Every structure is written in structure tokens, then in C-alpha cells.
């Protein structure tokens, strides 16, 4: 709290995302998810449960909408295909997880600054600081923030299942918000290793649990700031860029399948989806 600091750096403190911002990013982790090769097998979701100590809430609570799947497979049908009950076939899958937005709407509404932006371009949630006002979740257009409505840990891992909990991160108690972290514990380990070995982070040196578990390699994870990474190449190939929603793609080119969900809301998501292409006659 020093007045001198304010007066000297005032113009710096006034920079917003459009004018460059105040972030000094080391990495900006991102993803490219190819919906064309996603089979909706849910192994990403399962891997996420195992990696991130997600509680299994049981059927009853799941039906109430209190599930904790950071990574969920959303299923959509076209209206004509969807008759009566769930159609036998024709479901379209969409793995939905936290988009780690560059200008995240969840951040400015948190009253206690429990959610903030890391130098890795992540949208971090500080469990210890969270007071559970749940405004962040209400302001998330993707609805990918999950709240600990109960003390799930009490009955999610009956003995001896508690032995499989990941020791690298905490088990959350009731009353805090949580969400996908891009497996921040793995990022931490990788960054520590590179620091120790005094070398830059290699692409593919570590993967998130979902990317690792995907049997069809639909999820590509990497640093979008590194131009040589697979994910950057994919983003460039499909002409999707970071930053505010200003650029236009070549409309005519059918090869360009990349888009970001709710890009028009100007939240700068870090995940690019590749459109599904299907010949419906088949």
C-alpha cells in the first residue's frame, strides 16, 4: 500500500487486456479438441476423476445436478434425429472443460479474489481463499465451475478407495468452488524440472490427464505461446488466434474447422474446437 507506487506507475495499472494488459506470461497453455475424432468414450472424464481427486457423487446427487465432473462429455442431437427418448444414434459429443479464458468472466466477480490469472495463462482457483459466493459459476457462460455442495469426501472414497487419491493435490471440503486446472500439479512438476535442469519446457513433456487418456488423440495440449508446439501449429493451421474476437477466417475454405466456443462473448477461451464433419447419408 504505498502511494508512491500508485503515482509512479498509474498508467501501467490502467492497462487492460486490449492495451496489452499487465500480465507477463511465461506460458499460455491451451488445447485443440478435434470433435471429428472424438468418440465420446468418456475416458478423459474418467482420467480427470482419477487425477484430480474428483468425488464420485452417486446417482441421486448426479440427477440433482450436483456432479463434480470437471471434464464432461456433452451430448447433442439434431432436432429431427431426436425423437422421443434419446435417439439410438447420431449423438454429437463435445468434451467441455474449463476454457481457461484470457479475459475470464469468472474472475472480476469473485468478491475475495479467490480466482485469478497465473503467469501460465491459467485461470486458477484458490480453494483456501474461496468463500463460496458462487458468483463465478453464475457468470461462466460454459458452466464449467463445480461447487462442493456437500462434504463429498466423507462417502466418495470408502476404504480402501482412499488409497488411490492423488497426493499431489488436496481433497476439497464443502463450500468451495472448483474447476479444471489443466492439471496444474503436472505443470508444477514440469516447471520445477525444467528450472532445475535450466532448459526450456519441451512440447509434450507433460500432458493433462484427459489428453493423456484420450484413445483417439482428439485432445492436443500444449503451450500456445510456443510457435513450434503441436497445439500452436493446429491453431495456426485453422487460423484461430488468441486475443479478443476481431479476426475473420476465410469463410470459403472448408478445411478451416477451428472455432472457440462462445468466442463472440469476447472471453478469449484457450481451447480451440475443431468442427465435426459428417456425411449424414452414411
Partner 1 sequence: MSKHRLLAMFKDFDDAFVVVDKIKAKSVSGVAVEDINMMSPIEHPEIDEKLGHRPVNIQYFTLMGAIFGITFGFFFLTSAQASFFLQPQGGKPVVPLPTNFVLMYEMLIFFGIWTTVFAFLGMSKLLRPRGTLYSEKLTVDEIGIVLEVDDDNLDSVKDFFKSNKALEIREEKV
Partner 2 sequence: MSQVIQDKIIDEKLEWSRINSDVIASMQAPRKAYWITFAVCVSMLACAIAAEMYQYKMGLGAAALNNPHMWDMYIATFVFWIGMSHAGTLLSAILHIIHAQWRKPIYRFAEAMTTFSLMTAGFFPMIHLGRVWNLYWVLPYVSDRGIWPNFRSPLVWDAFAISTYLSASALFLFIGLIPDMAILRDHTTGWRKKLYGILCLGWRGDDRQWRNFRRTYMLMACFLIPLAISVHSIVSSDFAMSIMPGWHITTFPPYFVAGALYSGCAAIMTLFVCLRYFFRMEAYMTTNIMEKTCKLTFAIAMVWSYLNLVEFAATWYGHNLYDKELLLQKAYGPYAPIFWAMLFCGSVVPFALCFQKLRRHMPSVFVLSIVLQLGMYLERWMIVAPTLSLAHQPHQWDILWGSVIQWAIVFGSFGWFGILFLIFVKVFPCVSMYEVKELCFHLKHEIEEEELEKKHAQQKAGVRQQSGGTVPSGSAGLEGA
Q: How far is the CB of 230 from partner 1 (least distance, A)?
A: 27
The SS3 of residue 273 is: strand
List the beta strands (DSSP E) in 138-242. 146-147, 177-178, 219-223
What's the rounded Cα separation, in Å, for the pair 57 and 82? Answer: 29
Enter the C-alpha cell of residue 145: 465451475
CB-nearer residue toward partner 2: 57 or 214? 57
CB-nearer residue toward partner 2: 92 or 233? 92
Span interacting with partner 2, options 171-179, 185-193, 221-229, 233-241, rule CB under 8 A: 171-179
Binding mask 93-112 vs partner 1 (x if CB under 8 A, - otherwise)?
Answer: ---------xxxxxxxxx--
What's the rounded Cα separation, in Å, for the pair 113 and 107? Answer: 7
Q: Of the candidates 9, 39, 138, 195, which one interacts with partner 1 according to CB under 8 A?
A: 9
Q: Contact at 8 Å (CB) between 43 and 214? A: yes
Q: Which of residues 187-246 bind partner 2 (CB under 8 A)?
A: none
Binding mask 108-147 vs partner 1 (x if CB under 8 A, - otherwise)?
Answer: xxx--x-xxx------------------------------
212 binds, among partner 2, partner 1, none (CB under 5 to 8 A by kind): none
Q: Of the candidates 18, 63, 78, 155, which one interacts with partner 1 according to CB under 8 A?
A: 18
Q: For cell 474418467, name the residue.
A: 46
Binding mask 128-167 vs partner 2 (x if CB under 8 A, - otherwise)?
Answer: -xxxxxxx-xxx-xxx--xxxxxx----------------
Q: Residues in the site for partner 2, rule: CB under 8 A?
A: 1, 61, 64-67, 72, 74-76, 94, 96, 105, 108-113, 129-135, 137-139, 141-143, 146-151, 174-177, 262, 265, 267
Amino acid at each position: 500500500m504505498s502511494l508512491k507506487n500508485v503515482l509512479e506507475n498509474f498508467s501501467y495499472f490502467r492497462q487492460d487486456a486490449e492495451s496489452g494488459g499487465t500480465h507477463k506470461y511465461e506460458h499460455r497453455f491451451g488445447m485443440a479438441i478435434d470433435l471429428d475424432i472424438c468418440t465420446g468414450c468418456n475416458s478423459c472424464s474418467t482420467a480427470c476423476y482419477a487425477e484430480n481427486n474428483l468425488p464420485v457423487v452417486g446417482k441421486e446427487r448426479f440427477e440433482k445436478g450436483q456432479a463434480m465432473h470437471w471434464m464432461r462429455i456433452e451430448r447433442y442431437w439434431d432436432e429431427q434425429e431426436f425423437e422421443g427418448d434419446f435417439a439410438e444414434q447420431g449423438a454429437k459429443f463435445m468434451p467441455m472443460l474449463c476454457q481457461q479464458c484470457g479475459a475470464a468472466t469468472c474472475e472480476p466477480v469473485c468478491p475475495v479474489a479467490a480466482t485469478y490469472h497465473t503467469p501460465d495463462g491459467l485461470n486458477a482457483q484458490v480453494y483456501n481463499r474461496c468463500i463460496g459466493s458462487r458468483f463465478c459459476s453464475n457468470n461462466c457462460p460454459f458452466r464449467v465451475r463445480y461447487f462442493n455442495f456437500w462434504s463429498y469426501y466423507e462417502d466418495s472414497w470408502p476404504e480402501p478407495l482412499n488409497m488411490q487419491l492423488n497426493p499431489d493435490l488436496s481433497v476439497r471440503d464443502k463450500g468451495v468452488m472448483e474447476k479444471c486446472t489443466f492439471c496444474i500439479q503436472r505443470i508444477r512438476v514440469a516447471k520445477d524440472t525444467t528450472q532445475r535442469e535450466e532448459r526450456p519446457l519441451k512440447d509434450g513433456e507433460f500432458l493433462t490427464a484427459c489428453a493423456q487418456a484420450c484413445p483417439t488423440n482428439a485432445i492436443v495440449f500444449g503451450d500456445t505461446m510456443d510457435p513450434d508446439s503441436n497445439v500452436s501449429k493446429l491453431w495456426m493451421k485453422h487460423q484461430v488466434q488468441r486475443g479478443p474476437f476481431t479476426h475473420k477466417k476465410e469463410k470459403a475454405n472448408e478445411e478451416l474447422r477451428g472455432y472457440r466456443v462462445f468466442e463472440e462473448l469476447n472471453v478469449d477461451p484457450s481451447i480451440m474446437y475443431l468442427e465435426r464433419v459428417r456425411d449424414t447419408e452414411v
